[in-house]
């Protein structure tokens, strides 16, 4: 059946009125919640000034940057920096190290806060629970520089506590930070100790949103603690777990500069050199700002692809996703 000109005009007018109505309702909601939006202004300004405004600096990746000429005045060289990057042998070593360490972090450090949150929630003694939470949170506030110094002294082959114990039991001292096979375990274990407690905050907050009536009904039916945890608590925070996993996958190429840098030395460089330390050496120490920006842009693109991809997969599996 053909649609007449008047019919088309009627449809267009209906769409326009619906859009106008949605805009009016949205504006009314903003005015109603204006105090909350006013509180958002500092955060918005922060991101605009420190995150979005400097983004024009990615132009350096496509230029032969010169301080004298500035970012806009420097000569365009197109994709030469990227071609040079992919031809470097060290680049693939750094890429492998970054990817390997990120996968290990996700595999070993991501589940720990979830497990801690599940067990902390099951503690009925409020005072004991808060004490444990505080003890778990405290390491987060200690700088990686301080923790790095503690680890270097603790693992020292000369007077380190661990090597002293090894010597007492008849073993030979081991220079742990100089052995490649020990570097990743040290990074993973120190990450678990420092950040796992802090990571439980989000999951504990999600658990508080689960109705207590579900637990009461389960106990009446004879469910024990672990069954309640398995069939009520974990399904109740599954969407939060998926969201956090998507965010973590969206930063796979980021391993953190401070932790790696304080434990890095010339003897473990083949496994400890990641993109953060690589760009630091190229950008600040060698003064190759264009190339360092190229590496940073490459890692950002990889992170965006993984973020969008993991979000798409989560939606296909029936989860809400981020967007």
Extract the tokens encoding 286.
């060698």
Q: Is the pLDDT of residue 74 over 90?
A: no
Contact yes or no for 193/113 (Cβ under 8 A): no
Measured CA to CA in angstroms, residue 94 lies from 10, 182, 248, 305 at distances of 61, 18, 20, 19
Q: What is the pLDDT of residue 21?
A: 63
The pLDDT-based confidence of 70 (bands split at 50, 70, 90) is confident
Per-residue confidence band for 125, with pLDDT thresholds at 50, 70 and 90: confident
pLDDT for 97 equals: 93
Q: Which of the given ranges, 53-67, 89-103, 281-295, has the highest pLDDT on average?
A: 89-103
Compute how many other C-beta atoms are within 10 angstroms of the C-beta atom of residue 253: 21
Whether the pLDDT of residue 26 is over 80: the answer is no
Greater pLDDT, 213 or 20: 213
Is the per-residue pLDDT at 130 higher than 90? Answer: no
Instruction: Judge contact between 139 and 201, C-beta under 8 A.
Output: no
pLDDT for 183 beyond 90: yes
Predicted confidence at residue 94, as pLDDT, reads 92
Q: Which two tokens stand for residue 271?
A: 């496994």
- Is 12's pLDDT higher than 60? no
Q: What is the pLDDT of residue 194?
A: 92
* Alpha-carbon gap, residue 257 to 101, rounded angstroms: 13
- Decide if pLDDT at 27 tops 80: no
Residue 1, pLDDT score: 45
Question: Three-state SS across the chain?
Answer: CCCCHHHHHHHHHHHHHHHHHHHHHHHHHHHHCHHHHHHHHHHHHHHHHHHHHHHHHHHHHHEECCCCCHHHHCEECCCHHHHHHHHCHHHHHHHHHHHHHHHHHHHHHCHHHHHHHHHHHCCCCHHHHHHHHHHHHHHHHCCHHHHHHHHHHHCCCCCCHHHHHHHHCCCCCCCHHHCHHHHHHHHHHHHHHHHHHHHHHHHHHHHCCCCHHHHHHHHHCCCCHHHHHHHHHHHHCHHHHHHHHHHHHCCCCCCCHHHHHHHCCCCCHHHHCCHHHHHHHHHHHCCCHHHHHHHHHHHHHHHHHHHHHHHHHHHHCCCCCCC
Buried b / exposed e across 143-179, counting CB within 10 Å, b at 16+? ebeebbeebeeebbbeebeebeeeeeeeeeeebbbee
Q: What is the mean pLDDT of residues 65-75?
A: 84
Distances (CA, A) of 35 to 23, 29, 32, 40, 305: 19, 11, 8, 9, 36
Instruction: Report the share of the chain in percent with pLDDT over 70.
Output: 92
- pLDDT computed for residue 5 by the predictor: 52
Statement: residue 6 has pLDDT above 70: no
Query: Residue 323: which of 227, 247, 212, 229 has the closest Cα?
Result: 247
For 37-67, the pLDDT digits (tens) are 888 899 999 999 988 888 888 888 898 888 8
Give the tens place of pLDDT for each residue, 215-267: 888 888 888 888 888 888 888 888 889 889 988 888 888 888 899 999 998 88
Q: What is the mean pLDDT of residues 201-208?
A: 89
What mean pLDDT value characterizes the chain?
A: 85
Read off φ and ψ for residue 175, nearest 5 degrees.
-90, 85
Tell me, what's the pLDDT at 285?
83
Q: What is the pLDDT of residue 284?
A: 78
């Amino acid at each position: 059946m053909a649609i007449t000109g008047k019919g088309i005009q009627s449809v267009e007018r209906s769409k326009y009125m619906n859009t106008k109505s949605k805009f009016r309702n949205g504006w009314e909601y903003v005015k109603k919640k204006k105090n909350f939006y006013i509180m958002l202004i500092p955060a918005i300004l922060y991101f605009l000034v420190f995150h979005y405004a400097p983004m024009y600096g990615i132009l350096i990746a496509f230029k032969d940057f010169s301080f004298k000429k500035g970012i806009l005045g420097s000569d365009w060289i197109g994709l030469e920096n990227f071609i040079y990057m992919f031809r470097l042998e060290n680049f693939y070593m750094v890429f492998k190290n970054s990817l390997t360490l990120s996968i290990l972090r996700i595999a070993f450090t991501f589940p720990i806060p979830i497990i801690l949150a599940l067990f902390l929630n099951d503690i009925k003694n409020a005072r004991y629970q808060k004490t444990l939470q505080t003890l778990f949170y405290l390491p987060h506030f200690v700088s990686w520089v301080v923790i790095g110094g503690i680890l270097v002294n603790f693992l020292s082959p000369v007077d380190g506590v661990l090597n002293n114990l090894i010597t007492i039991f008849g073993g030979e001292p081991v220079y742990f930070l100089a052995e490649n096979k020990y570097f990743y375990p040290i990074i993973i274990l120190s990450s678990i100790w420092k950040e796992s407690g802090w990571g439980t905050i989000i999951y504990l907050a999600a658990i508080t949103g689960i109705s207590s009536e579900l637990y009461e009904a389960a106990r009446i039916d004879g469910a024990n603690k672990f069954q309640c945890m398995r069939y009520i608590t974990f399904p109740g925070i599954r969407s939060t777990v998926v969201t956090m996993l998507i965010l973590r996958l969206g930063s796979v190429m980021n391993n953190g500069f401070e932790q790696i840098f304080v434990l890095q030395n010339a003897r473990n460089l083949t496994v400890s050199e990641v993109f953060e330390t690589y760009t630091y050496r190229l950008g600040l120490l060698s003064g190759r700002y264009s190339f360092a920006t190229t590496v940073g842009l490459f890692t950002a693109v990889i992170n965006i692809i993984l973020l969008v991809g993991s979000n798409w997969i989560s939606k296909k599996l029936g989860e809400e996703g981020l967007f």
